[in-house]
Chains A and B, each alone.
Chain A
Amino acid sequence: MPVTETAGTRLWKRRDRKAQLTVWAIQLGCLMVFSYCWSLVSEKTIWEFVYDAPTQAGDMASRMVPPAWDYMDKLWLAVWDTINIATLGTLMAVVLAFPIAFLAARNTTPSKVFIRPIALFIIVSSRSINSLLWALMLVTIIGPGVLAGVLAIGFRSIGFCAKLLYEAIEEIDVSQVEAVTATGATGPQILHYGIVPQILPAFAGISVFRWDINIRESTVLGLVGAGGIGLQLSASINNVAWTQVSLILLVVLGTVIVSEWVSAKVRHAII
């Protein structure tokens, strides 16, 4: 009890002794973990570089202006590729995620024992691996290019879309499904009339949301050779062509902002 009575006066503390000790112990523990991690990282850091970084950054920034505007001619194709990677990847993901979500949702899966765990495993492994890691794998296997990028975005997004979608399926209104079942409808008919109409808005929302994220992610896939504007970025950095780099950064910024605006508009129109 935070309230104690000593010699007639009632004292009040925010926490009683045990709670206060627990709080201190947790704070101390966090501090120790943090300082241990910090010491390990600082061991591997060359501090001279870090002290020098502000000058370096200033130098880099000064060499970035003005952006090499005429390089834009060569960038249009890269931007086009980037958008295509995001769009086709999202398309592929939503097409594949749709059935997987039904197999994974507790109330629609054909078999809770066999099929649901498999569907969940697909979702988890797709989600756990960053799209850049997918791209790294795919580039090693099928070679560099836009196709690897599309597949990487697709594979990464399947899990994301399927997870959100199956959660939406599990939250549907059961009475509507019951009503359709009561008419004597078959399984696929129940799906079509009872469930799909309920999750369609969520489905559209998820797709657009993921497309927006994918635009951002597809700008970097080129760093491992999977096409898009990242390819130009890493080439320009390697050639220390800083004026090109600044232009590319501006283009990335613009693309992401425009895609955010588009996705907000579309989501607004759907809902």
Chain B
Amino acid sequence: MNTVTTHRSWKKQPFIKSPLLRWGLVVGGAFYLALVFGTMDVNWGRVADGIPRGQRFLSSFFPPDFTSRATDIFDGILESMWITIISTVVGILLSIPVGLGAARNLSPRPVYLFSRAVLAVSRTFPEIIIALFAVKLFGFGPFAGFIALSVGTIGFYGKLLAEDIEDMDTSQAEAVKATGASWFQWLNYAVQPQVMPRMIGLGMYRLDINFRESAVVGIVGGGGIGATLLTSFDRYEFDSAAAILLVIIFIVMGVEYSSSYIRKWVQ
């Protein structure tokens, strides 16, 4: 029983086949990290100072202080909710013409390019930057927040609407056109039934996003709960801040669950 076995070694094939590229990526990554940590300007003394403050902040969650700023918190939350609702409604209404314009199968070339440009710009800038300018133009308060979130909604909803229209079944659209329907009738009978269910779902989703965002536009003066939160941080009232954060988490969860419930119900 002395068979000779030849040993063939086996190793797992590396994910990236070319060794040059593989090692290049490793070295490049390491170099990048070294560079980042080299140039990153961190005041470690200040960070160390923060540790006891962090502990104090964490301990303020047990229990948070809902009472001493109760009216501020309540008003702030309500204001956030109004902003959320009207900006979602107005944003969606405005995004319908833009979305129709941005659908390649619907619009002539110049309208298409213009609408796409509007969508691209309103999508690239974070809501908070838009809010910053809205505050400059319209003054402090919920109106600025409303403008910022509406613009954000147009970018989000218009793009998805346009994509949905571009994906629609062309034969159904053709059939309605062949009956001699006018353009608006065609929209109402051929396009709307096809895109509606998904659009309602996305509207709910956007409502959810807008509430989250409405909590931060207050930081730059756009009204809502963000302003209340900023004040309590500025005054180092950590237990009120903790209470506000908990309220935000709670409502966001609530909105998210109910919106996913409605979305399931619509499908």
- The answer to whether A and B touch in the complex, with CB atoms under 8 Å apart, is yes
A: residues with CB less than 8 A from B are: 33-34, 37-38, 40-42, 44-46, 49-50, 53, 56-57, 60, 80-81, 84, 87-88, 124-125, 127-130, 132-133, 136-137, 140-143, 145-147, 216-217, 219-220, 223-224, 233-234, 237, 249, 252-253, 256-257
Residue B220 interfacial (CB < 8 Å): yes
Q: A237-B136, A252-B125 are in contact. Are A143 and B216 (CB under 8 A)?
A: no
Contact B129 A88 (CB under 8 A): no
Residue B142 interfacial (CB < 8 Å): yes
Contact A129 B47 (CB under 8 A): no
Q: A37-B82, A233-B129 are in contact. Are A130 and B212 (CB under 8 A)?
A: yes
Min C-beta distance of A153 to chain B, whole Å: 13
* CB contact between A133 and one of B43, B53, B216, B223 (< 8 Å): that residue: B216
Q: Which of B83-91, B163-171, B187-195 contacts A (4 or more CB under 8 A)?
A: B83-91
B: residues with CB less than 8 A from A are: 36, 39-43, 46-47, 49-50, 53-54, 57, 78-79, 81-83, 85-86, 89, 121, 124-126, 128-129, 132-133, 136-139, 141-143, 146, 212-213, 215-216, 219-220, 223, 226, 229-230, 233, 236, 241, 245, 248-249, 252-253
Contact B137 A223 (CB under 8 A): no
- How many A-B residue contacts, CB cutoff 8 Å? 140
Q: A220-B126, A233-B129 are in contact. Are A45 and B138 (CB under 8 A)?
A: yes
Contact B125 A45 (CB under 8 A): no
* CB contact between A44 and one of B40, B124, B143, B245 (< 8 Å): that residue: B143
Contact A136 B229 (CB under 8 A): yes
Contact B50 A34 (CB under 8 A): no
* CB contact between A137 and one of B39, B57, B81 (< 8 Å): that residue: B57
Min C-beta distance of A158 to chain B, whole Å: 14
Other contacts beyond A141-B57, A143-B46: 8, CB < 8 A: A37-B85, A49-B137, A84-B39, A127-B252, A129-B249, A133-B248, A137-B57, A140-B236
Instruction: Name the A residues within 8 Å of B215 (CB-CB).
Output: 130, 133
A124 to B256, CA, bound (A): 10
Instruction: Name the A residues within 8 Å of B79 (CB-CB).
Output: 40, 44
Contact A141 B54 (CB under 8 A): yes
* CB contact between A223 and one of B53, B57, B220 (< 8 Å): that residue: B220
Contact B138 A49 (CB under 8 A): yes
Min C-beta distance of A256 to chain B, whole Å: 5
* CB contact between A84 and one of B40, B138, B216, B233 (< 8 Å): that residue: B40
Instruction: Name the B residues within 8 Å of A46 (CB-CB).
Output: 139, 141
Min C-beta distance of B215 to chain A, whole Å: 6
Smallest CB-CB separation from A142: which chain B residue?
B50
